[in-house]
Amino acid sequence: MAIWNKNKNGATHGGDAVETARDPEHGMKVDEMFKETSSEAPYVYQPGTEEERLLVRKIDIRLFPMLWIMFCMNYLDRTNIGNAKVGGMAHDLELTSSQYSLVLSIFFVGYLLWEVPSNMMLSRSTPRIFVPTLMVIWGAMCIAVAGIHNLGGMVAFRFVLGLVEAGFFPGIMLVISCWYKPEEMSKRVAGLYSATMMSGAFGGLLAGGLIEGMEGIRGIRGWKWMFIIEGIMTVAIAFAGYIILPNYPLTTPWLTEDEKKLAIARLVATNDRAVDLDAEERVSHWQGFKAAVSDPITWVMLVLYNMLSSVGTISYFFPSLLQTMGYEGRKLQFMTVPIYVVAMVVGCSAGVFADRTGMKAYTIVGGATLSVISFIICATVNMPQVRYAFICFGAAGIWTNIPIFLSWMVTMFDGREKRAVSIALVNGFGNLASVYGSFFWPSSDAPNYTTGFAITTALCGGAGLLVLATKWKYGDKGVEYTG
């Protein structure tokens, strides 16, 4: 880490360092980076300049579309199991309701088991190699679904898929953190989450066309063709990622020498301000861990994310819910599309509102309230058109809350080591919710699915109340420290 000194104009520049920051890829010290990028030293960083604005715009154009497409395929390959179920998979594999829930939940067991080891592997690799390689592996696995003929094969596939995909999200977050300042990340994270909604909408259209259009070709069922084609798409995008995805500012050829200097300086200045600029004593990993687990806010955030994540498992059952409303075949797949479109429009609008007003906690409460009202109507009204409309609104509330919660949550922890441990705990245990959330919707509850709607309503309402209590108790505890 570098110690940065302010000049008379308020800018910061690199000074003598007790322990200087290093480029993650090459281990170079910050002052060495400046020597590599320019003969001028020290480099003066002035926040908010026109040069910085143009740099961020350039990064957005070059980096964000590739990340967005990769994130879209990640979610598509994870959730297409719901389309496959109603497209013939459940019949062909003779799956009961509980066995289908097992197929869903086993993914998250693998995900949780391998998240930490995968992060350790990531620290020894580079994003440009690590992230696309994961995509190649799980894309190839999707292609291999053509050879699955029983429950055991599908369970094994989903478990290993969870192992492989465990490193994807941390890898994407590493890429973003290497390019954007902390205060620039919340909009980017919300933008990435729009990919999950777009993949849900696109996935329904794609599934509808593939499952019926390719049924029986070369003796392969349509739902298997869906996995094969989507797996091929994932591999193709992964190979594009090897070419397009950058690693770090210092090694990126499409930056000029001055842009490299600016990209490095602004990250070091913002990331180090909470520790070195305040002469704060550095703490060890163990001290950070103890501080995290002893702080009640860590556990409050963990419970909140668990509640919000568990209700998201409804996305795996959208085709099943729509099937009870009389939709069949290709139309059934296509009718999942508006759900995600509504969720994307409402979620992105809410994200912009939350950023502009700073009322992230209250926006989460609004999303939870929308879901509660919508799911109560779904559970009590039998008219298919009304239930369909409020499934759309209920889903919008769910996907409004998760990205906004993440951007709010990261402001609630002070101290770098403590913050890193706290976020890891919240993310890891939050995904655990998907293991039991997949059992909320047993087929024996069809057509009303009262149990699923009741549990989801209770969790959304409880999360909203807990957010209000957290806001009242802690306020925006760490809002001044976003690094």
**Neighbouring C-alpha atoms within 13 Å toward the C-beta of 290:** 4
Residue range 368-375: mean pLDDT, rounded: 95
- Decide if 319 is inside a domain: yes
CATH number for position 148: 1.20.1250.20
Give yes or no for a contact between 122 and 174, defined as CB atoms under 8 angstroms apart.
yes
**Neighbouring C-alpha atoms within 13 Å toward the C-beta of 20:** 17
- Decide if 55 is inside a domain: no
Distance of alpha carbon 344 from alpha carbon 106, whole angstroms: 28
Residue 247 or residue 276, greater confidence: 247
Considering the domain architecture, whether residues 405 and 450 belong to the same structural domain is answered as yes
Give yes or no for a contact between 175 and 131, defined as CB atoms under 8 angstroms apart.
yes
* 3-class secondary-structure state, position 318: helix
> Helices (DSSP H) in 384-449: which residue ranges?
384-409, 416-437
Considering the domain architecture, whether residues 120 and 162 belong to the same structural domain is answered as yes
- Decide if 399 is inside a domain: yes
**Nearest CA among 81, 94, 68 for reference residue 193:** 68
Other C-beta atoms lying within 10 Å of the C-beta of residue 287:
15
Region for 358 from its dihedrals, namely left if φ exceeds 0, alpha if ψ lies in -120 to 50, beta otherwise: left
Considering the domain architecture, whether residues 249 and 342 belong to the same structural domain is answered as no
* 3-class secondary-structure state, position 220: coil
Considering the domain architecture, whether residues 250 and 289 belong to the same structural domain is answered as no
Considering the domain architecture, whether residues 190 and 137 belong to the same structural domain is answered as yes
Distance of alpha carbon 359 from alpha carbon 362, whole angstroms: 5
Other C-beta atoms lying within 10 Å of the C-beta of residue 450:
12
Considering the domain architecture, whether residues 199 and 337 belong to the same structural domain is answered as no
- Decide if 372 is inside a domain: yes
Angle at 428 between CA 193 and CA 170, to 5 degrees: 50
* 3-class secondary-structure state, position 4: strand
- CA 239 to centroid of chain Cα atoms: 21
Whether residue 68 has pLDDT greater than 50:
yes
Going by C-beta distance under 8 Å and a sequence separation of 6 or more, which residues neighbour residue 19?
1
Residue 230 or residue 185, greater confidence: 230
> Helices (DSSP H) in 85-181: which residue ranges?
90-92, 97-123, 127-143, 151-165, 168-177
Residue range 86-100: mean pLDDT, rounded: 92
What's the pLDDT band for 276 if we cut at 50, 70, 90?
very low
pLDDT of residue 368: 95
- Decide if 310 is inside a domain: yes
Whether residue 342 has pLDDT greater than 50:
yes
Whether residue 326 has pLDDT greater than 50:
yes
Bridge partners (DSSP) of residue 45 are 12
Considering the domain architecture, whether residues 454 and 326 belong to the same structural domain is answered as yes
The residue assigned the tokens 């969870």 is: 162
Considering the domain architecture, whether residues 320 and 425 belong to the same structural domain is answered as yes
For 15-67, the pLDDT digits (tens) are 333 333 444 444 444 444 444 444 444 557 778 889 999 999 999 998 989 99
pLDDT of residue 88: 92
- Decide if 78 is inside a domain: yes
Residue range 136-148: mean pLDDT, rounded: 96
Distance of alpha carbon 140 from alpha carbon 217, whole angstroms: 20
For 257-267, the pLDDT digits (tens) are 889 889 888 87
Considering the domain architecture, whether residues 337 and 465 belong to the same structural domain is answered as yes
Q: Give me the percent of the chain exceeding a pLDDT of 70.
A: 81
Residue range 397-405: mean pLDDT, rounded: 88
Please identify, among 198, 233, 254, the residue that sits at the C-terminal boundary of a domain: 254
What's the pLDDT band for 340 if we cut at 50, 70, 90?
confident
Residue 129, CA distances (Å) to 171, 238, 251, 260 in order? 10, 10, 14, 21
Going by C-beta distance under 8 Å and a sequence separation of 6 or more, which residues neighbour residue 366?
350, 400
Whether residue 350 has pLDDT greater than 60:
yes
Domain of residue 194: give its range: 63-254
- Decide if 192 is inside a domain: yes
Give yes or no for a contact between 397 and 460, defined as CB atoms under 8 angstroms apart.
yes
Per the structure, how many domains does the chain have? 2
- Decide if 269 is inside a domain: no
Give yes or no for a contact between 453 and 325, defined as CB atoms under 8 angstroms apart.
no
What's the pLDDT band for 270 if we cut at 50, 70, 90?
low
Considering the domain architecture, whether residues 201 and 320 belong to the same structural domain is answered as no
Distance of alpha carbon 110 from alpha carbon 167, whole angstroms: 11
Considering the domain architecture, whether residues 289 and 425 belong to the same structural domain is answered as yes
